[in-house]
Amino acid sequence: MRFQHHQAALDTRANVAWMEVHTENYMGGGSPIRYLEAIRRDIPISLHGVGLSLGSAEGLDQAHLDRIRQLAEHIEPDLMSEHIAWSVSGGTYLADLLPLPMTEEALAVVCRHVDQVQSTLRRKILVENPSTYMQFRHSTIPEWEFMAAVVARTGCGILCDVNNIYVSAKNHGWDPLAYLAVLPPDAIGEIHLAGHSARQLADGATLRIDDHGSRVIGEVWLLYEAALRRFGPVPTLIEWDQNVPPLDVLIDEARHADALIDVASDGVGRADAA
Amino acid sequence: MGSVVPMLLEIQTAMRCDILGNGDETVVATLSDTLAPVDRLSIYRNTSRTALTSALRLNFPAVQRLVGEDFFTTAADTFITREPPQTAWLDPYGEGFPEFLQGFEPVAALIYLPDVARLERAVGRALHASDAKSLEYSQLLDIEPSDQGRVCFTPHPSVSLVSSPYPVDAIWRAVLGQNDEALAAIKLSSGAVRLLVERRAGEIEVSRLDERRWKFAEALFAGHSLSTALTVADNPDAAVWLAAHLAAGHLSGFSLSTTESLVVTEHAQ
């Protein structure tokens, strides 16, 4: 949910199963947090963080973790999630989900930080697989095994971003179905879907860019169906952060996901739009 | 890089330098991608710049309208390189932006621009400040009369004071209201303004104070003792002004000072 949807969300709350917001947008006082409190009275909330930087070599920003803890204690979200990425270095926040080398060192750093976050919040968090545009030469662990290892070592869950799997698989020549096959089904607590764009690079390569600015494409819907077959019905969210359309377009996308969940299961899972 | 297999810290430091505009070939050398590695890296740089520029745009909308979107992007780019954010909570990002604009040669002719930015920074502070409880009058009843002069107040985090030689409040309203007629009618020579910016019931209010009231509020909000603030005010109505601040919820706490600071004494003269 974005700020321009606050009032619409309050008006139509009966039709929405749950809502996800960016944790970092609700760290101050005033009207944003008042809206979230009001929506929270009727609808479960998922807090989705983008700034904790689980992969920072220099450790977590304790002040930021404290703000997240205070918000969580206040809002009591049903789900909390973050990313397998980094965004803070040398005390500077770089405002992007930057790629980690897939190494034992990075795995140890991420696991140490997930442990720290879960013990601070006294709850399980979900970690989301990233979309990436480059790979490091010294990476030794396939990303899907990295994800599974974080779950095995910390007991956290996974926010499986199906569009991110598709984007990274296209960018790096991976098999997206093989990726899904390694993720532990019991750990999947949420699925993300989104639109993406394609960009031609100077050397002729085409890169898929995860920009959350359009409808979900057909191939990603197919991968989503495969994910549902493997994981069962899982709460699903359509992300849309650029060129945000009216709420009814988002709800239309969510209905499509709902229909697929119904086909793949007994209809227990429910989809939503952010 | 110092080792054959670079450490995570080395990679992150090199990538931070690249994103902030002073990178070298270090990161590219660690990539396995043979096709367009520089292009790949620039995607992250661009995303970072766009996100931080958007944060500044949200925090300084009137400044952006005054200088235009393209120019704002250029100014923001220079500012981001000089003062990138230190936390992932971006609502307060741009504390140093007004001072940056003050020294930014291309906008030197817009003499009122840094003060418009100062007003927007105060508005942002009011919008995003924590929901601290306001001080109630009843909480002051137990103070001994002999101690009243030593009371130092803490302003509510949403309250700020801004002063400018130019009518920046009128400029700010006209620009955000896209009222070109009002903007054209503003005379920069109309005199200084002294403003109090606050959040009341979720809404931002910017009000003008006269010079004495503003100076009293300035001393009070700076944490100087009540006796000092009253000396600064030099007005029999100052006790009423204090009551008005309390009633409006501008104060959130108090303590008793043990000494008067040198700064306070100088201020009072």
To the nearest 10°, the Cα dihedral for B43, B47, B53, B54? 140
**Chain A residues whose beta carbon lies within 8 Å of the beta carbon of residue B20:** 92, 94
Cβ separation B35–A89 shorter than 8 A? no
Cβ separation B15–A98 shorter than 8 A? yes
Please give, one letter per residue, the 3-state secondary structure of chain B: CCCCCCCHHHHHHHHHHHHCCCCCCHHHHHECCCCCHHHHHHHHHHHHHHHHHHHHHHHCHHHHHHHCHHHHHHHHHHHHHHCCCCCCCCCCCCCCHHHHHHCCHHHCCCCCHHHHHHHHHHHHHHHHCCCCCCCCHHHHCCCCHHHHHHEEEEECCCCEEEEECCCHHHHHHHHHCCCHHHHHHCCHHHCCEEEEEEEECCEEEEEECCHHHHHHHHHHHCCCEHHHHHHHHCCCCHHHHHHHHHHCCCEEEEEECCCCCHHHHHHHC
Distance of CA B177 to the CA centre of its chain: 21
pLDDT of residue B2: 47
Per-run averaged pLDDT (10 residues), chain B, 269 residues: 79 95 88 88 95 97 97 97 97 97 96 98 96 92 92 96 98 97 95 96 94 96 95 93 96 86 38
Tell me how many domains chain A contains.
1
Per-run averaged pLDDT (10 residues), chain A, 274 residues: 68 75 95 93 95 98 98 97 98 98 98 98 98 96 98 98 97 97 98 94 89 93 97 92 84 88 67 59
Least CB–CB distance from B88: residue in A33, A51, A105:
A51
Strands A19-22 and A86-89 come out as: unpaired
Cβ separation B35–A204 shorter than 8 A? yes
CB proximity B33 to A under 8 Å: yes
Q: How large is the angle between the packed helices A143-154 and A104-121, nearest 10 degrees?
A: 40
pLDDT of residue A272: 63
Q: CA-CA distances (angstroms) from residue B173 to B95, B225, B232?
A: 21, 34, 31
The pTM of this model reads 0.92
Cβ separation B16–A51 shorter than 8 A? no
pLDDT in tens, A119-150: 999 999 999 999 999 999 999 999 999 999 99
Q: Note every long-range contact of B140-146, with CB atoms under 8 Å and residues 24 or more positions apart, other chains counting.
A: B140/B246, B140/B254, B143/B256
Q: What is the helix (H) or strand (E) element at residue A255, kind and residue range? A: helix A247-264
Task: Name B2's bridge partners.
Answer: none
Residues 48-107 in B contacting A (C-alpha not used; CB under 8 Å): 48, 51-52, 55, 84-91
CB proximity A181 to B under 8 Å: no
To the nearest 10°, the Cα dihedral for A91, A92, A95, A101? -70
CATH number assigned to the domain comprising residue A211: 3.20.20.150
Domain hosting residue A143, numbered range: 3-273
Cβ(A129)–Cβ(A164) under 8 Å? yes
Q: How far is B224 from chain A (nearest CA, A)?
A: 26
CA closest to A173 among chain B residues: B33
Beta-carbon count within 10 A of B132 CB:
15
A128 three-class SS? strand
Least CB–CB distance from B16: residue in A90, A136, A202:
A90
**Chain B residues whose beta carbon lies within 8 Å of the beta carbon of residue A51:** 87-89
Least CB–CB distance from A95: residue in B5, B13, B51:
B51
Least CB–CB distance from A105: residue in B7, B37, B41:
B7
Backbone angles phi, psi at B266, to 5 degrees: -65, -40
CB proximity A98 to B under 8 Å: yes
